[in-house]
Amino acid sequence: DAGITQSPRHKVTETGTPVTLRCHQTENHRYMYWYRQDPGHGLRLIHYSYGVKDTDKGEVSDGYSVSRSKTEDFLLTLESATSSQTSVYFCAISTTGAFGYTFGSGTRLTVV
């Protein structure tokens, strides 16, 4: 779908370890996003990027950092994973209007 892929699809990690999730797009879209989805909370914006090396915080950015060194790649790093960061993480790109996203297939992260 619109050339957006996330890796890995599943990951189990230990508390306190750093974790990096990758989002890759093939269509040269300017805006890229990281969301997390949790039961009862819907989707919440973590960080977004509006260009290479241009990023900004979303609603739930504490404990996360991002980097975008190339248009096609947007990385999300959990600096020191905690159990509260167990979630499904979705990457998205803007393809239709301001908030018409195309989402990736998600990464299911479990922190034990």
- Interaction site with another protein (CB under 8 A): 1, 35, 40-45, 48, 50, 56, 58-59, 90, 92, 95-106
Spatial separation of the C-alpha atoms in residues 93 and 78, rounded to whole Å: 21
Q: Closest approach of Cβ 42 to another protein, in Å?
A: 4
Nearer of residues 9 and 17 to another protein, judged by Cβ: 9
Tokens describing residue 69 = 């060194």
Other C-beta atoms closer than 10 Å to the C-beta of 28 total 9
Terminal alpha carbon distance of the chain: 32
Nearer of residues 21 and 92 to another protein, judged by Cβ: 92
Q: Closest approach of Cβ 7 to another protein, in Å?
A: 14
Q: Closest approach of Cβ 79 to another protein, in Å?
A: 23
User: CA torsion sign, 71 to 34 to 87 to 82?
Assistant: positive
Candidates 3, 25, 8; CA nearest to 73 is 25
Nearer of residues 34 and 81 to another protein, judged by Cβ: 34
Nearer of residues 1 and 14 to another protein, judged by Cβ: 1
Q: Closest approach of Cβ 15 to another protein, in Å?
A: 25
CB 85 within 8 A of CB 111: yes
